[in-house]
Structures are given as structure tokens and as C-alpha cells.
């Protein structure tokens, strides 16, 4: 099952580091085929 987002993982990492996010949860239609 692949994620349905088109953001490069390195950009997500940079965003989390910049904003001191230790855990990022994705849910809803980004995860499934609904």
C-alpha cells in the first residue's frame, strides 16, 4: 500500500525538524483507496 501524497520524504523531514515535530500522523483518504 503506497501513500497517496506526492511530497518528497526529505521535504517532510525538513518540515518536521524545522517545526520540532517528533511524530507525524497521516490518516483518512491519504492512506487508503476511499
Each residue's pLDDT tens digit, 1-34 = 566 678 898 999 999 999 999 998 877 776 666 6
Q: What is the pTM of this model?
A: 0.60
As for how many domains the chain has, the answer is: 1
CA torsion sign for 7, 22, 20, 32 is positive
- Where in the sequence is the domain holding 30, given as residue range(s)? 1-34
pLDDT at 31: 62
What residue spans of the chain are helical by DSSP H? 9-18
Amino acid at each position: 500500500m503506497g501513500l497517496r501524497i506526492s511530497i518528497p520524504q526529505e521535504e517532510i523531514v525538513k518540515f518536521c525538524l524545522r517545526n520540532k515535530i517528533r511524530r507525524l500522523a497521516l490518516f483518512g483518504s491519504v492512506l487508503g483507496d476511499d
